[in-house]
Amino acid sequence: MRLILFIIALLSGGASANDFDSVFESRKSWFDERGLLDNAYQANGKPQYINALIDADSPYLLSHALQPVDWVQWQPLFEHDFASGNKLIFISIGYETCHWCHVMAQESFNSEAVAAVLNQHFVSIKVDREQWPLVDNRYKLALELLKGEAGWPINVVLTPQGKVLWADSYLPASQFTKVINALSQRWQTNPNALQTVAAGISARLEAPFSSTTSNDLDPHIVITELNAKRLVALEEEASSGGPRFLREYWLLGLLEQYLDGGEQRILEVVKRHVDGILLSPTYDAVDGGFHRYAVDGNWLQPHFEKMLYTQAFMIKVLARLYLITDEIQYLAAMEQTIAWVDHSLYQSHGRSSAMSAISGGEEGSYYRFVSTDQSLLSESGFNYYANSKPSLAALAALGIDWRNNQFHQKLVARRHQNVAPLVDEKVIVSWNAMYIDALVDAYQVTSKKQFLESAIQIADHLWAAARSNNVLYRIVFQGRPSIEATYEDYAWFASALLKLSLYETVYQSDLSKSTSFQKASESDFKARATWLLDLLSKSYRYETLKTLAQDGELPSVYSSVYKAMALGYESLGNKQYRMTAKQLIKKHSVKNDDIQDNYSFWAAIFKQTNHLSLRASYFAKGRGKVTVSRYGPDLVVELYLVPGWHVNANPSANEKLIATEIDVVSHKGFFVADYPSPTLHKLSFSQSLLKLYEGRTRIELSAKSSSSGNTKGPIKVKVRLQACSDKLCLLPEIITLVL
């Protein structure tokens, strides 16, 4: 077995077995800080066992590095050959903030008796699901097939050829030992019988993805029907017994439909859902940040881990609610959550992936208050929940900015007397891209430049840290990039960079003195996004992507690739991106369950095709950009066109030409557009002078004095234009911007 470990480590470029001690010494302080040395077997003052995980770039894997099991970490070569010497393969998948993963580690994988069986009869592979989402998805599907549901840890036994033989989640040590003993003995006495079992499981796993369909569904009809069902589900979940999830991307899809059509019931249901969270311990109104979900149906008993992606999507939800309602609780929660992420998850090259639920050896103990805190909690505007486990606190009322309460800082100081949870310091590219995207949303609804500058800084540092030798990596841990990027990393990062590129003019004019601008300006965000999308296009395989068309705690990978490709075409004009986006629509399964399970995809299509954007949008396949801003009671629409392109002025040179027209459709008659003087040009296709807007054009919309007090709520600005060059005209476009 040690020979196998040595070969695997050698092939992967990691530490060999002979180097384990020296690598441990270099990371000893990290193990000591996290208390991992306390549970390790000791020999002569040093850990008795050190396995190949010692060189991992994952806190979760490192937490298993001092166990007696001869663990190795997942390697790309395992896709083709496990090199197991005809031994069975045992794969255990988990993540750092998973409670039951650590329970099983303590009960089973720290056991010398369990390790003896695994080391003799299995090749044992430990997987951090956040590092290898495709591997996790593959075996999650197997667990769902065999057990009816999936949860972590995921434990799987494979044949030496890689076929699934057995799968389960957490098992007590006694049961787990029985399983691995029985499988190993059966493999030695009758391997053909187990091969037959594995072949049957493989056939069942492949069946759902064996055919490709073609559909003619109308995405707008699909999303309308899906949203109607989501509204019902959100209301029914309020009376459920739990667990209850935040449903972030459901909320985003619903709010997109509300912004498009103004259906009041959508807003009422979403507000009720989000307000319930903000008034519960599932939102940490002391420090900021959302827990991943609640164990109960009333949000009173959180599952205490805080994930970066949860914060990103809830920031986006809060931004839209603040845009729509102008209610202070949404702004306060959004800004407080951003402040928490930037403080508690800060890394110089991005943001950490999560904060653990465990502190001081107990789940949720950091969030505990005691009866003597009740007076301070009450003065701070919080309720005290003595019956929750542990005793928790939550906001007592909304409609105020609780951060400005004079007692709130005392409450924060009291909280910080508790032992803080550990942080999973690994930086994940796609999750950081989600956060960048959220920061841009925060800027769009507040116009606060610090959010845009923070997004630029993270994007720039992530770009520098996650790329090496012209390769993008998924993980950065302790400054070291590892594991080649997945579809979702390319897709989310490209989408975030394209969104940032809309605001070049902002950071060129207003942030030009900052260090982050100087770095960002060295490489245009569009060029970076093009590099990412081109690599994604080259590696893209529909046969793989169609197995990733199911939403989970994150939107499906399928939807993230669609969004990136559609946005790439809109922003860059590359026809290959458009072809890929169309293929994803055309070839998506028409089965009802498959449509229901991929809500994020249909919501993304709706958003991409209704041409409604927050404050800014590209047009003319990336050759033009339009933004809207508010200056006191007035509005300003700005057009930016690359050299050689123009739009017709208002009025145009003749009635046959489509004039650029601005209409504030949400506030009819409240604003008057002042169209600027045009540039006069005679182009090759025209014998007469044309009235054009070129380069940068500013169109002011003045609020009528009698209407200045009636412009509350979101303002929808419809821009109608047609972009042309000296040789051709594109189709007319209508873009709706919201601010």
Specify if 114 maps to a domain. Answer: yes
**Euclidean distance between CA atoms 41 and 62, whole angstroms:** 15
Give per-residue pLDDT as tens, 685-728.
Answer: 666 788 999 999 999 999 987 655 566 789 999 999 999 888 78
Cβ density class 289-305: b for 16+ within 10 Å, e for less: bbbbbbbbbebbbbbbb
Among 425, 453, 478, where does a domain finish? 425
What is the predicted pLDDT for the residue at 145?
A: 85
SS3 157: strand
Are residue 259 and residue 320 in the same domain, yes or no? yes
Query: Is 249 within the bounds of a domain?
Result: yes
Domain that holds residue 705: 616-738
Could you tell me if residue 521 is inside a domain? no
Do 665 and 730 sit in the same domain of this protein?
A: yes
pLDDT-wise least confident of 387-396, 519-528, 530-539, 540-549: 519-528
Q: How far apart, in whole angstroms, are the C-alpha atoms of residue 297 and residue 315? A: 22
Quick check: is 607 in a domain?
Answer: no
Claim to verify: residue 266 and residue 124 sit in the same structural domain: no
Instruction: Inform me whether the pLDDT recorded for 21 exceeds 90.
Output: no
118: domain CATH number is 3.40.30.10
Residues 73, 160, single domain; the answer is: yes
For residue 467, is it within any domain? no
**For 309-317, what is the mean pLDDT?**
98
Q: Cα–Cα distances in Å, from 18 out to 44, 70, 84? A: 18, 14, 20
Q: What is the pLDDT of residue 535?
A: 95
Given this model, what pLDDT does residue 511 score? 47
314 found inside a domain: yes
Same domain, 417 and 324: yes
Instruction: Looking at the structure, tell me whether residues 87 and 151 fall in a common domain.
Output: yes
Q: State whether 57 and 203 are in the same domain.
A: yes
Structure tokens at 17: 């077995």
List the single range of 435-439, 594-598, 687-691 with lowest mean pLDDT. 687-691
331 plus 266 within the same structural domain: yes
What CATH number has the domain bearing residue 640?
Answer: 2.60.40.1250
Structure tokens at 325: 């309602």
Answer yes or no: do 57 and 160 share one domain: yes
Note whether residue 374 is domain-resident. yes
Taking alpha carbons only, the member of 527, 606, 595 closest to residue 563 is: 606
pLDDT digit string, tens, across residues 494-519: 999 999 999 876 545 444 455 444 44
- Sign of the Cα torsion 458, 462, 465, 469 reads negative
How many domains is the chain partitioned into structurally? 3
Q: How far is CA 690 from CA 625, 654, 659, 682, in A?
A: 21, 8, 11, 6
Gyration radius from the chain CA atoms: 28
Residues, the chain? 739
Of the residues 166, 191, 209, which one is the last residue of a structural domain?
209
Q: Which residues pair with 123 in a beta bridge?
A: 89
| Whether the predicted pLDDT of 482 surpasses 70 | yes
Model pTM score: 0.87
Do residues 166 and 280 both lie within one domain?
no
| Res 360: pLDDT | 83
